[in-house]
Structures are given as structure tokens and as C-alpha cells.
Amino acid sequence: MKLGFSWRVLVFIAPALLIYATFSALPLIDTLRLGLYTADDTGARSFAGLANYTTILSDPQWSTSFWNAMANNLKFFAIHMLVQNPVGLLLAALLSLRNVRFAATYRTVFFLPTLLSVVIIGFVWQLILSPLWGVSERLLSLVGLGDWFAPWLGLESSALITVSLMSVWQYIGVPMMLIYAALIAIPEDIIEAAVVEGASPWRIFWQIRLPLILPTLGLVTILTFVANFNAFDLIYTVKGAVAGPNYSTDILGTLFYRTFFGYQSQVASPTMGAAVATLMFLVILVGVAIYFLAVQRKLQRFAM
Amino acid sequence: MANTSTSTSLPFAPSRVFVHLTLISYLLLALLPILLVFMNSFKSRDAFFNDPLAWPTPETFSLIGYTKVLGRSDVLMYFGNSFIVTIASLFFILLFGAMAAWGLSEYRFKGNRWLKFFFAFGIMVPIRLGTVSILQLMVELNLVNTLTALVLVYVAQGLPLAIMILSEFMGQVPGELKDAARCDGIDEFRIFFQVVVPLIRPAIATVAVFTMVPIWNDLWFPLILAPSDKTQTITLGIQQFVGQYATDWNAVLASLSLAIVPVVTLYALFSRQLIRGITAGAVK
Amino acid sequence: MASVSLQNISKRYGNNEPVLHNINLEIEHGELVVLVGPSGCGKSTLLRVLCGLEDISSGELRIGDDLVNDLPPAERGIAMVFQSYALYPHMTVYRNMSFGLKIHGANKADIDKRVRDAAKVLHIDHLLERLPRELSGGQRQRVAIGRAIVREPRLFLFDEPLSNLDAALRAKTRIELARLHRDLGATMVYVTHDQVEAMTLGDKIVVLSEGHVQQAGTPLTLYQQPANRFVATFIGSPTINLLPARVIEVLEAGARLQLSNGSKVLATVDASQLQVGETVEVGLRPEHCEVLPAGVAPAADDTALDAEITLVEHLGESNLLYLKMDDGQELIVRGDGNAEVRLGDSVIVRAAPSALYLFRADGTACTRLNPGNMRSAHAR
């Protein structure tokens, strides 16, 4: 490394720093600031301290939507953790076995949905699940489950789960790839040593492979968390900004959008929108902080 | 559940049947929706209502969906916009990102650590949360409804991760190479552009892939910063089109297929590099 | 401890050429057998076949009296020490060593005793709560050995265990392994590419090349009576000198040969199969010759070759002299470290008839009739 600060260093770093600061870091800080203001009907802004936050969190007009969105977002995250990551783990584990024919083809195809735009995914699944077109009904009756079919997307009780599963279907490629990379990085001779000692494939998975990919599983969890609490595109595509039926698919991202831009009966409010954004930021920050603390303490990458 | 094997002999592997059954099931699950849409976009309206699972036959084959889409919307222009925005963003992310990565990893100076932390923060915290202020900024700069606004935002969004990945790889360039070049009196900029950059090509490819996809597929910023008809990206365009023509199934299916084709084609061509890049860079 | 019997073991991958051809080997109870050979000779494959990590294409493998061809490694009663140690990175030394025992359902007290006893023998008892990444290379290797010992297997397998250690540690560890073998009385199969390790550790050495056993025997046998040219050149450092020659006379207890530069030499070997005029190679180990100043007349039957010194390497206790004969043939001789020799000196290289080796054109060796390490000066 070269010592010293010269004008050259400035030239190297300046463009990135400038753009990043102007369009990413500062707007974020500004949003945090804006959340502390309120605007009256003329649009004039005045400092309001934490008033916006108290409103969102406790004023029934706002708080019901907020806590509803929060609860939904948590459910959204839970479904991803329960479905996306275990299935991703299963697929990665199967693909990392030796001598699986066509493994490369499987890998390629599994990753395909992740590359498609969420808009496409949203519409494709909407079509398939649509009671009007009847494809899913037909497919289900092929396996004898025809009675199961219901317009899941339209029912308040099932809409959120359905949308969550759509999101899982799309994104499963990412945890799958990350876990796959971690699994193939485990030196083969460690596995062989375990085999020689008499470990069954089951035991090898749980006591050798899994502990060694724990850091990656942690990474996958935090990435899922951040992505889920930032999610918007899919719900917007499938259900619009109003996130029906009856706000059952409303998550923090859609709440933010509505609050900021206004929608139908709700008046646009940049300040309230900023407050919602700040709350989202805090939620994500808490999650990230927990992750880093856990990483520092327990999950350490072992020198292999 | 997930059993794992180590050698070629069968006693250690879970049943081959189980493995392939699971993988094939998921393969179908992953492909079927896309295939269905694609297949049916080539059928006439009655045909796909009646028998959605059938391939298009000479009787049922119809391009009516496509003619509607191409006729009623500026699909080509949307593609063009997406293309411009993605390529331009990618270019600047790679250029400024590499330069910053170099500046941060190669030179020791006060505040180096803080700057690194500053950038790293951007990886975890989504840029969307600052949208309120970003929009205000764009309004003040008169950049609303321009592709430039999108490029600026995407570059800001992509820089942190690019800088992190690129500096990792730059750290692996042997010190002797750089020192030898300095001994020869070559100036820092030359060293950067002509020695270091060519050596980290795999990293650049990885970053390109990681960055390109989210930009191309993004809905949020085109929706908020550049929703005018002239500046719509393909993602936004499709979203609006389908929203508008919701019951015109032919058009909807055709437009979705049009949106899928370029991505799938590129992917088919570059999948090996892409996956190699992800599995190599991801573990870091 | 058990004996091991390999009968006609062959291994091939798919339809490719076999990597092991008809290996036949008997290993006695308590023996330390070293498999040695250049890279790619099949020694590691053979070890893995013994272990059960690779299957056998044909032939029978017996450990003790049991036919183990189709048994998985865990049921063969073996333990293996891997080249890179293969310690479980996320487990403490204690857990690494007790892992195998736990799988077999041993009770806690028993496990604890075995682990601690083994740790004491290997001087790692103070490291039991550490993780592998906190240990040095030598310490990790001991843990790997400890892991094998606690299982009290019938057969120990070692895959180049010393190759990842630095030279000083390697020599030290070699002695410890020899001591361990003596103390445990265990049957061990040890793979290495280093012939010094092979010679010092093995009760029996098996030299392999390209999937075939070239020779199996005690270190001394391989040194004094190599079965063929390959074994002769593999064992012994520096490598044996090989001089092309022609048989000019077949005697009752020897053969007379003419070298390419015209000199005639006598070799005390079993010449019964040789034909006059046959092309052969005369072998002469650097440590079996001596260098005399030019002009000194050697004894009648001794080999005497005129040569010039082209390079001297001083090792302290000995010198390595690189010489060239008048027809360009090169030789190496190990000489006394105190001798005064200079570059360019013309000398006579002298060796007794019993010191010579003889190899026929197909590489097979003629049995030496009076072998035994000798410094030519004393063997009259």
C-alpha cells in the first residue's frame, strides 16, 4: 500500500463519493430529517419533533394501517424464512452431491425466475392463479386436487400467503446459489474423514456440513430480511398500491408509497411518508445490527 | 430429507431416485409458468381459454397478441430506454466503483476507514428509503422524467457493492507488480488503468452481472422518477400496459413474453459465466 | 491388529485403463508397510481402496480373515490419517477425537478415557479445548493421528502424513511415528513419495509404478537386490549410476562387461541367463565407489574408470563428486569429506566387483552374488 494522501487519491475517489453522497446517503439523512417536520394545507413546513411518529404509532387513523403493514411484513418474512431458505438449502444440498447428472442444467433453470422482472412474475402468476383462465384449476385436477382450488389471490385470508409464495418462487435462486457455493467450498477430505469414522449421510449433513455453512445461512437470513422489509414491486404489480383485499397484502413498502404519493382518499404527505420511511429504516437497522453482533460473537468462519 | 454423499459408491448417497425426483419436480415448478405464458401467447383467444395446456397448433396459432402489443404501445422505445439506462449505469458504476475501490484499498490515509464504512453502509440500507428527498432533489435539478435521473440513482445504488467486491479483488493483485511499475516511473493513473484493471476482469464481470439485473428489472424508480411516456423503461411499460389492458389476454400474454425473451436469451448465452461469477464472488 | 491380504486387486474408472493392475500383497500382523513411488503410480489409489473410499474393480481384499470388498470404511476396522489432516474445523480437538467413538455408541466415560490417554501419548493433552485453526501444523497432525488411535482400529492408514511439514519437523515426526508403531504394535500402511521416509520407517517397502508393484521387500533387500532398474534408481540418494555396456564373457560367478568407452569391468552377479554380446546396464552406487588419484593402480578385478572431476558438492561429512568419463558418460561418487579434491583433477573411480549391479535390456536385474553395504576400500 502506498502511503500518503495526494490529489490523485482524491481524483480516484471523488466521482463515486459525490454521486453516492448526493443521491443515496444525503437523501436518506434528509428523509430522516423530514420525518420530523409537518406540513399544513398550504404546504409550508414546520418543525414538529416526534409528532409524526406518535401519530403513526398511536393515532388510530394511522396506526391501524401501520401495525397492519408491520404485521403483514413480518408474516411475509416468516414465510420466506420457512419456505424459501429451507427449500433453497435442500436444492443446494442436492446439487452439491457428486455425480448428479445434469446438475448444471438444473442450476441454470432454477436461477431463471430470479432474473425475471418482478412485474413479469406478478402477472404470470396472476394469470395462472386466475379463476377465469382456469389453468391452475386444470393442473390441480390432473393430480386429483381439483377441489383444493380457490381464488387465493382474491381472498383476504390467503392473499398474503399467496403473494409471499410467489415472491419465494422468484427469489429462491439467490439463497440456493449462495448456499451451493458454501457447500462446495467444504474440503472433500473432511467429508471423507467423517465417512471413514462411520458417519451416515444424515449425520454428515447435520453435524459437519450445516455447521460449516452457518455463516452463509446467517448472510442469507439478513439478506432476506432486508429485501423483505424493502419489498414493494410484487405487491404493487399484483394488488396495486391499495394492497387489498382490505389491506391484507399491505406491507411497509406499499404503506410508504401510499403515504408519500397519496392514493384515492388518502392525501399525499411527504412528511408522513418520510416518517414511515424512517421507521422502515430503523427496523432494517435493528435487523442488521443484530446480524453483525451475532456474527462478531458466534458465527465465525473457520479457517479451512 | 437432505442426505449428502461423498464418493461414487452408492451406499453413501441418498437414493438417486429421490434426488432426481426432487430436482425434476422443482424444475417443472420453475419452468412451467413461463412456458405456459410463452406457449399461449401464440394462440388465439378462444384457443387458450379452451385448452391452455396445449401447444399452439396450425389452427390455433395466432400472432394477434403481438400485433396488438406492437401496435398500441411503444415497446421498442421502452426496450431502448431500459437499454440506455442499464448500460449507462453499468458503465459508471464500474468506472467510478473501480476508481474508488482502488483509491480506498491502495492508499493509506486518514479517514480511509471511515470512507470504507460509509460506503459499506449503503450495501445494507436500501436506497429507496430516501426517495422522498431524492424526488425533491430531482425536481430542483429539473431532472424529473429524464433517463439521467434514473442513471444517477442507479449508480448511487450500485456503487457500494461494486466497491466492496472490486476492492477485495484488487487486494489480491500482487504488490510486486505495482511496485515494479512504480519503479519504472509509471504514474498512478496508468498503473490503475493498464495494469490493475485488466487483472480484475473476473471481478468486473461478477459486479456487472449483480448490478445489471436489478437495474433492468426495477419498477420503483422508473415509476416515481420517470413515469412519462417517453421515458418509461420496459419494466414500467409492461406494468402499465398490462394494468391497462388487463382483460385483453392476447395482448397481455404477448407483452409478457416479449419482456421475458431478451432476458432468457442473454441468460442462455451467458449462464455459465454468470453462475461461475456468483459462486466465486458470493462466498466472500 | 490384523493382517491384510490383497489378491489380484485391480481398479479402473469406467472403461478407462486400469489404475491398479493385479496387485498382490500380503501384510503381516503388526507390520508397517510403506507404499512408495512417483506421482501417479497409484499408491494413493491403493490406500483409498484399502480404506474403502474407492471400490475394487476385481480381486479380493481381506483384513484379518474378513473379505471386505463390499464393506464401507467404517465396518472394516480401519482408521486413516489424511495428508491435510482433515480435522473438523468447527470442533475442538476433544470433539474431533471423540467424534468417531460417539458414532459407534461408546459410553461417555470410555470415550473420555481413550481420548485423554491418546492425547497424553501424543503430547496434545493441553490442547483439548482448542480449535484446529489455533494449532500449528505439527499439532494438527498429532490430532489427526490421535483421532485414529482412539478408535483402536485393526489397521492404520497414513496418506503422506509428513509432506505438509517443514524439513526439521518432518525428521522429528518420522522418529515419533516409528516409536508409535513400536509402542502400539499396530499394522500400518503408509504412503509416501519420499524414499528416505520409506527406508527408515518401513518393515516392508512396496515400490509402485504406473499401477504395478515393482517390488516388495525389506528396505535392505530393495537397496541391495532391486528387482529391476526402476527400483534401483528409485531407492538410494544420490541416484545409482547407470553405465551402458555389453556382455563380453559369462563366468560361473559373474560376468565381464565392456563399457561404452572401452573399459572392461567384472560384476559378481548371477550371469546364468546372460548371452555374450547382450546389451546391458552396469549399476554403480555413488557410495560404493571411491576416487583414487590418477596413476594409482587398482587391484586386478576391480573396476577402474578414468574420469575428470567437473563439480564438487561439499556436504561436510562427505563430498559429492560429479565426474565425466572420456566418452562423456557422467558419474557421481560420494567421497570422504576430508579428501582434497579439485575441479579438473583426473582421477580413477574404483569399485569392487561385488559392488556392481547389472540390468538387462528389459530392465530386470541379475541377482547380485555378494551384496552387502561396502566401502570399496575395505572389500577385498
Query: What confidence score (pLDDT) does residue B78 get?
Result: 85
- Same domain, residue pair C284 and C361: yes
The model's confidence at residue B281, banded by pLDDT at 50, 70 and 90, is: low
Query: What confidence score (pLDDT) does residue A146 get?
Result: 65
CA dist B32 and C47 (Å) reads 48
Residues in chain C with CB shorter than 8 Å from the CB of B12 are 72
- Same domain, residue pair C185 and C244: no
| C379: helix, strand or coil | coil
- Same domain, residue pair B51 and B145: no
For residues A200 and C376, the model is more confident at: A200
- Same domain, residue pair B166 and B49: no
- Same domain, residue pair C152 and C262: no
Residues in chain A with CB shorter than 8 Å from the CB of B152 are 19, 22-23
Answer whether A198 sits within 8 Å of C87, measured CB to CB: no
On whether any CB of chain A is under 8 Å from the CB of B151, the answer is: no
- CA C20-C23-C26 angle, to 5 degrees, is 145
**Dihedrals φ, ψ of C364, to 5°?**
-70, 150
- Same domain, residue pair C220 and C277: no
The CATH number assigned to the domain holding C103 equals: 3.40.50.300
- Same domain, residue pair B93 and B170: yes
In tens, the pLDDT along B54-65 reads 666 666 677 777
- Same domain, residue pair B166 and B210: yes
Inter-chain contacts counted by CB atoms under 8 A, chains A and B:
296
CB C283 within 8 A of CB C236: no
Residue C164 pLDDT > 90, yes or no? no
The CATH number assigned to the domain holding B231 equals: 1.10.3720.10
Q: Which residues 82-121 of C are in CB contact (within 8 Å) with A?
A: 82-84, 86-90, 99-100, 103-104
CA nearest to B151, candidates B82, B206, B101: B82
Assigned domain for B188 exists:
yes
CA dist B220 and B150 (Å) reads 10
Answer whether B8 sits within 8 Å of C72, measured CB to CB: no
- Same domain, residue pair B133 and B255: yes
Among C203, C233, C263, which residue terminates a domain?
C233
Range of the domain at C332: 240-378
Residue B3 pLDDT > 50, yes or no? no
Check residue C130 and report its DSSP letter.
Answer: S
Assigned domain for B2 exists:
no
Residue A194 pLDDT > 90, yes or no? yes
Range of the domain at B48: 10-62
- Same domain, residue pair C229 and C289: no
Answer whether A304 sits within 8 Å of C89, measured CB to CB: yes
CA dist A72 and C13 (Å) reads 56
pTM: 0.81
CB A7 within 8 A of CB B91: no
Shortest CA gap B207–chain A (Å): 15
- Same domain, residue pair C227 and C272: no
In tens, the pLDDT along C20-55 reads 999 999 999 999 999 999 988 989 999 999 999 998
CA dist C232 and A269 (Å) reads 91
The model's confidence at residue A104, banded by pLDDT at 50, 70 and 90, is: confident
In tens, the pLDDT along C53-101 reads 998 999 999 998 889 998 989 889 899 999 989 999 999 999 999 999 9
The CATH number assigned to the domain holding C336 equals: 2.40.50.140
On whether any CB of chain A is under 8 Å from the CB of B214, the answer is: no
Shortest CA gap C48–chain B (Å): 11
Q: Is C324 left (phi over 0), alpha (psi -120 to 50) or beta?
A: beta
In tens, the pLDDT along C224-269 reads 999 999 999 999 889 999 999 999 999 888 899 999 888 889 998 9
- Same domain, residue pair B51 and B99: no
Helix (H) or strand (E) holding C235: none
- Same domain, residue pair C73 and C109: yes
CA dist A111 and A125 (Å) reads 17
**Dihedrals φ, ψ of A246, to 5°?**
60, 45
Assigned domain for B4 exists:
no
On whether any CB of chain C is under 8 Å from the CB of B12, the answer is: yes
Query: What confidence score (pLDDT) does residue C159 get?
Result: 94
Among C201, C233, C265, which residue terminates a domain?
C233
Query: What confidence score (pLDDT) does residue B164 get?
Result: 84
Q: Which of A26, A109, A209 sits opposite B31 (nearest CB)?
A: A109
Shortest CA gap A179–chain B (Å): 9
On whether any CB of chain A is under 8 Å from the CB of B284, the answer is: no
CB B267 within 8 A of CB A112: yes
Helices B75-106 and B64-72 pack at an angle, to 10 degrees, of 70
Assigned domain for B161 exists:
yes
Query: What confidence score (pLDDT) does residue C317 get?
Result: 87
Residue B10 pLDDT > 50, yes or no? no
Shortest CA gap A92–chain C (Å): 21
ipTM of the modeled complex: 0.80
In tens, the pLDDT along C271-317 reads 888 889 989 999 999 999 888 888 887 787 888 888 999 999 998 88
Residue A300 pLDDT > 70, yes or no? no
| A38: helix, strand or coil | strand
- CA B81-B85-B88 angle, to 5 degrees, is 135
Average the pLDDT over A213-240 and give the result.
86
Residue B271 pLDDT > 80, yes or no? no
Label residues A60-78 b or e (16+ Cβ within 10 Å = b): eebeebbebbbebbebbbe
Cell of B34: 413461463
Average the pLDDT over C359-370 and give the result.
90
Residue A203 CB partners (closer than 8 Å, separation 6+): A194, C103
- Same domain, residue pair B211 and B235: yes
Answer whether A112 sits within 8 Å of B30, measured CB to CB: yes
Assigned domain for B43 exists:
yes
CA dist C277 and B83 (Å) reads 83
- Same domain, residue pair C154 and C220: yes
Tell me, what amino acid is at C371?
Answer: P
On whether any CB of chain A is under 8 Å from the CB of B122, the answer is: yes
Residue B91 pLDDT > 80, yes or no? yes
The model's confidence at residue C167, banded by pLDDT at 50, 70 and 90, is: confident
Mean pLDDT of chain C: 89
- Same domain, residue pair C213 and C258: no
Q: Which residues 223-262 of B are in CB contact (within 8 Å) with A?
A: 224, 235, 238-239, 242, 249, 252-253, 256, 259-260
Residue B259 pLDDT > 90, yes or no? no
Answer whether C55 sits within 8 Å of B9, measured CB to CB: yes
Mean pLDDT of chain A: 82
Q: What is the CATH number of domain A52-297?
A: 1.10.3720.10
Residue B12 pLDDT > 70, yes or no? no
CA dist A91 and A177 (Å) reads 9
* A69 alpha carbon, distance to own chain's centre: 15
On whether any CB of chain C is under 8 Å from the CB of B7, the answer is: yes
- Same domain, residue pair B240 and B274: yes
Shortest CA gap B280–chain C (Å): 21
- Same domain, residue pair B84 and B122: yes
Label residues C206-222 b or e (16+ Cβ within 10 Å = b): bbbbebbbbbbbebebb
Count of the separate structural domains present in chain B: 2
On whether any CB of chain C is under 8 Å from the CB of A201, the answer is: no
Count of the separate structural domains present in chain C: 2
Percent of chain A with pLDDT over 90: 13
- Same domain, residue pair C168 and C228: yes
The model's confidence at residue C109, banded by pLDDT at 50, 70 and 90, is: very high
Query: What confidence score (pLDDT) does residue C34 get?
Result: 95
